[in-house]
Structures are given as structure tokens and as C-alpha cells.
Amino acid sequence: MHIATCVWQEKASAMGVGAGGDVGAGKKKKGEWAAPPGRRASALAVAGGALNCLVSFVVFSFLDVLDVVLCLVYKLIDYAVEAEWKACYCTAATSATSAPPPRIGLVTSPAVTGPPKVVRLSASSTKLQLEDVSDTLFVRPSLLADATKKGPGTAAPALTVVSPAIAELIRGKMDRPPRQAPCWSDCDCKVCHSWSAAGPRSSSSSHLYVHVQAPPPAAIAGGEVVEDVVFIHGFISSSVFWTETVFPAFSAAARGKYRMFAVDLLGFGRSPKPAESLYTMREHVEMIERSVLQRYRLGSFHVVAHSLGSVLALALAVKYPDAVKSLTLLAPPYFPVPESEAGSATQYVMRRVAPRRVWPPIAFGASMACWYEHVSRTICLTICRHHRVWDRLFRIFTRNRVRTYLIEAFMCHTHNAAWHTLHNIICGSAGRMGAYLDVVSDQLSCKVAVFHGRDDELLPVECTLAVGARVPRARVTVYDRKDHITIIVGQERLFAAELEAIWRSAAAD
């Protein structure tokens, strides 16, 4: 079992205090001719960082060119296969120019400041609602442009309206009738498109897929008070991230007391993957409300969320402050934006999440997925469309269900869903996260627990420490030798016991 360390230990480590309280334990002894270990390690780190920067510049400069080539290739293939010349964000104008005349479905306004805003007709009502579309979708300067840019930072241009090209692209998505058939580059298996099997008017196309683990009838008949728990997975994942790990690890007492809901977010797993969706915060939250809170009539509930799901969990907590009993966040993507970057918060977060570096590998993957629209589509075409093949291969070579279930979790989505969710939720929430956490700190009384793996190379542990600083009452735990996935996978029973303790504590208050 790995030892969990808390915030005060993090601060002690940052000050150079060792386990025994000694400071400066690595000093050079008298008579030694070799450089101190700390100095040698520092020199190697500098050399490695310089090499990483050099190789990254070459690789990502190549990817800048490759993405332009793939843009043309996919346009030709889309037109040949589906008789449709599909627009993309990389070819849309990024300058702030006069928008086309507004109409119902899309309205742009020069009075709007900050990231571009889109007003659209909500599918659930006749009221015009404001949607946020992250400017990182269409403001992604090349690495060479960043390198030659003068002055600190790489702020996005001050957009006050949506440019005509972007407006037409978004309008095209919104005006397009719901499409049940998958795109040629998406998987059409029963897992990925089970939601469309019953036809366009089926309830499955308007609700998320939800795995429900309810207490046995005997427990309910015995008068046991049943509490509800909503589990929200992270980016390019699904409900199996929970159902194959902590769900089987809960004690019999917990299984008899808690009704657990694990959702597949819009665009992922077995949930609907509409081609016309922009996968904004409002769309994701509304689908969770419709599919879980309203459908199962949840009056109060606990929330457990991982990574990107933490953003949606905070949005739910802010919207339902009296209903949330406890809030458990794992590896939340919270990057406090410096004042110097306040005008380009989304760009700042994109560069933190996807730094365009070849090392570590997880940062390389995130950078390709975030910066290159057509390179990331190629990755989805190669991996997601053929996830059944990868699953068979992993079953043959590993004979390990723990590994093969992750194939389903990470590969059952479309490029359209992943691309928009990444930008509109993680990057687009840059200006919201601080406000969400302030509401949780000042206006909510629920239990708040935050967990992180010290070896997480995708979202650094500083994200969780920043959440703890923003919400002082939050219980912050950092697991040694755990990363973004193994914070749960590999210690399922330990984490299940942690959750049960949190829920019991919330009920005792």
C-alpha cells in the first residue's frame, strides 16, 4: 500500500526538508573532488531539457506542416465518400471581422468581450441561451509563429465577435439535422452506436448511457436509507473506468446502502455521439441532468469525478448547491491563470495541458490531440475506429481483463466529440474554474476531498494543491508513485474504502 501525503508535507518537501528534518543533506564532503550529486543531476536535467526542446521543435514543426496536408486529404475523402465538403477550424479565418447578420440559431454581438460567444436555441427549451465556444478551437498558432513572436506569452487576439468563417462553420453544425449514421472515419460497432440502433426517435438518442448499481431489493425492503452517488469519468474514457475498478471493490455494506450511477459522457462510450453537437459545458451538464438527476429523481447525491469530469462535477455542484452531499475530485485540471495571462486564459491552459513536447509521452499525445485537428483525427481513425482489433490483440497478448477493459474506455468515442470536449471543457473552463471553486468554498457546506498521483505527467500535482488552496476545508491527498490512471487502477480496494469513509462522514454531519 502506498503512503498518502498531505499538503503540509508537500510544503516541507518544497523547502528541502527531508524525512528526518535535515536541510541540505546532499552537501559535498571535505576532500571530495566530484561535483555534488544535486549539481550533477541539475546539469543532466538542463541538458535533457535542452534536447527535449530541440527535438520537440523539429517534430512539432513537421506536425504543423502535416496537419495542413491532412486538411486537404480529409476534405477530398469526405467529399468522395459522403458527398460533403466539410469545413474545419484550421482553415477558418481567425481575425476579428464583422459577423454576418444574426438570425435564430446563431447570433454574434460586437458587444461581447473575451472569448467568442454563441447564442443558440436550446434543444430543451425555446429560450435563447448563451454558449461558450473556446477560442482554442480556431486560434492555434504554429510552433514557428510562437517561437518568433515578440514579447512574453502568446496571447490570443482580442476577439470581440465570431469571424464569418467560424460563424458559418458553427451554424452549419447547429443547422444540420441529427445524423444517426456514423462518419466514414468513425466506428459503427454496437458499442459505439448502440444509442442509434432503435431509430432517431428513441429515448436512447436523447439520454446518456448510465450504468446503475442499485442495492438489492432485500436491503430496500428492510428500510435501509439509500443514498445516491454519481460517477463522472474523465477525457477519452467511459463508465467502465469505474464499473471495472472500484464498483466491485466496494464492501457489502456499501453495496446495500448506495445506489451508484456511472455515466458515459456525451460523445463517449455507449452514449450518443451527435455530429452536430459542439460538446459545450451546457450540453454536457444538461445531458447529465436529463439522464441521471431527472430520470432517476435524485434529490440529493454524492459526486465522484476524475480529470475532465471534475470540471463537470463542479458545474453540477454550483447548479445544485443544496443537493450535493460530498464532492470527490481526482486529478482536477485546475490551472490558476496569472494576471499577465488573464486576457488569454484559454490559451494559457491549452499550453499547460498540451505543452508541445515529445517527452514525457503522455504530454506528446496530449499535444497532438489538442493542437492538430487533422492529426488527431488520423489518430482516432487508426485507433478508435479499429478498437475491436486492438481489444482482440490485447486479450491475446496480455490475457488481462484489467488492461483490455481500458481499450473500451479509451477508444469508444469520435474525433468530433473528443476534439470539441477537450477544447470547450478543459480549455474553455479556464475562466470558470476559479469561480466554481469559490462558490464551493463560500456557499456550499458539503464535504470536499481531492486526490492526485504524485507521478501524474498529464496534470501535475500542483493542480490539486491549487484546488486545496482555493477551498481551504478540502481534504487534499497525494499518493506516492501513482499517476493519472493508477491513482485508481491497482489500488481499487484502498480507494473504494476512501470513498466509503467520505460518504459516512458526510452523513454524520
Catalytically annotated residue among 233, 415, 420, 452: 233
Region class of 140: left (phi > 0), else alpha (psi between -120 and 50), else beta: beta
Indicate the pLDDT class of residue 501, thresholds 50, 70 and 90.
very high
Give the number of C-alpha atoms closer than 13 A to the C-alpha of residue 483, restricted to the C-beta side: 7
Beta bridge partners of 91: none
Tell me, yes or no, whether 399 lies in a domain. Answer: yes
Per residue in 317-328, pLDDT (tens digit) is 999 999 999 999
Residue 110 has a pLDDT of 39
Phi, psi of 348 (to 5 degrees): -60, -45
3-class state of residue 288 by DSSP: helix
- Single-letter amino acid code for the residue at 199: G
User: Can you give the pTM of this predicted structure?
Assistant: 0.85
Indicate the pLDDT class of residue 138, thresholds 50, 70 and 90.
confident
Is pLDDT above 70 for 175? no
Tell me, yes or no, whether 53 lies in a domain. Answer: no
- Which of 92-101, 139-148, 398-407, 431-440 has the largest mean confidence? 431-440
What average pLDDT does this structure show over 472-485?
Answer: 96
Report d(CA 119, CA 112) in Å as an integer.
Answer: 11
What average pLDDT does this structure show over 2-10?
Answer: 41
Dihedral (CA of 87, 93, 94, 96) sign: negative
**Contact at 8 Å (CB) between 84 and 184?**
no
Tell me, yes or no, whether 56 lies in a domain. Answer: no
**Among candidates 450, 485, 489, 483, which has minimal Cα distance to 328?**
450
Residue 157 has a pLDDT of 44
Is pLDDT above 50 for 12? no
Indicate the pLDDT class of residue 300, thresholds 50, 70 and 90.
very high
Q: Say which range, 177-181, 381-385, 445-449, has the weakest mean pLDDT.
A: 177-181
3-class state of residue 197 by DSSP: coil
Query: Is 193 annotated in the active site?
Result: no
**Contact at 8 Å (CB) between 266 and 208?**
yes
Indicate the pLDDT class of residue 191, thresholds 50, 70 and 90.
confident
Tell me, yes or no, whether 96 lies in a domain. Answer: no
Selected residue with higher pLDDT from 22 and 56: 56
Indicate the pLDDT class of residue 202, thresholds 50, 70 and 90.
low
**In this structure, what C-alpha cell is assigned to residue 405?**
477493459
Is pLDDT above 70 for 127? no
Report d(CA 358, CA 292) in Å as an integer.
Answer: 40
Residue 228 has a pLDDT of 97
Cβ neighbourhood burial of 63 (10 Å; 0-12, 13-18, 19+) = buried
**Helix 401-411, helix 387-398: angle, nearest 10:** 170
Selected residue with higher pLDDT from 114 and 166: 166
Residue 364 has a pLDDT of 95
Is pLDDT above 80 for 307? yes
Catalytically annotated residue among 67, 391, 456, 483: 456
Cβ neighbourhood burial of 1 (10 Å; 0-12, 13-18, 19+) = exposed
Tell me, yes or no, whether 469 lies in a domain. Answer: yes
Residue 414 has a pLDDT of 94
Residue 124 has a pLDDT of 42
Catalytically annotated residue among 193, 207, 413, 484: 484
CATH number at residue 448: 3.40.50.1820
Say what percent of the chain tops pLDDT 70: 75
Query: Is 233 annotated in the active site?
Result: yes
Q: Say which range, 157-171, 187-201, 254-268, has the weakest mean pLDDT.
A: 157-171
Query: Is 306 annotated in the active site?
Result: no
Indicate the pLDDT class of residue 398, thresholds 50, 70 and 90.
confident
Tell me, yes or no, whether 102 lies in a domain. Answer: no
Q: Residue 315 is part of which domain span?
A: 194-508
Selected residue with higher pLDDT from 447 and 204: 447
Residue 35 has a pLDDT of 54
Q: Provide DSSP, 416-462.
A: HHHHHHIIIIIITTTTTHHHHHHHHHHH--SEEEEEEETT-SSS-TH
Is pLDDT above 50 for 21? no
**Among candidates 287, 309, 235, which has minimal Cα distance to 123?**
287
Query: Is 452 annotated in the active site?
Result: no
Is pLDDT above 60 for 64? yes
Residue 291 has a pLDDT of 97
Distances (CA, A) of 375 to 63, 90, 185, 370, 379: 8, 12, 13, 10, 6
Residue 131 has a pLDDT of 58
Is pLDDT above 50 for 145? yes
Tell me, yes or no, whether 189 lies in a domain. Answer: no
Residue 366 has a pLDDT of 94
Tell me, yes or no, whether 236 lies in a domain. Answer: yes
Per residue in 258-269, pLDDT (tens digit) is 999 999 999 999
Selected residue with higher pLDDT from 10 and 497: 497
Kindly report the average pLDDT of the chain as a whole number: 82
Residue 125 has a pLDDT of 38
Residue 180 has a pLDDT of 65
Selected residue with higher pLDDT from 203 and 107: 203
Residue 355 has a pLDDT of 94
What average pLDDT does this structure show over 125-138?
Answer: 64
Selected residue with higher pLDDT from 206 and 9: 206
Per residue in 359-375, pLDDT (tens digit) is 999 999 999 999 999 99
Q: What is the number of structural domains in the chain?
A: 1
Catalytically annotated residue among 185, 239, 277, 307: 307
Per residue in 89-116, pLDDT (tens digit) is 886 544 433 333 333 344 444 333 444 4
Residue 293 has a pLDDT of 97
**In this structure, what C-alpha cell is assigned to residue 509?**
454531519
Q: Give me Rg for the CA atoms of the chain.
A: 24
Q: Say which range, 32-36, 135-139, 196-200, 409-413, has the weakest mean pLDDT.
A: 32-36
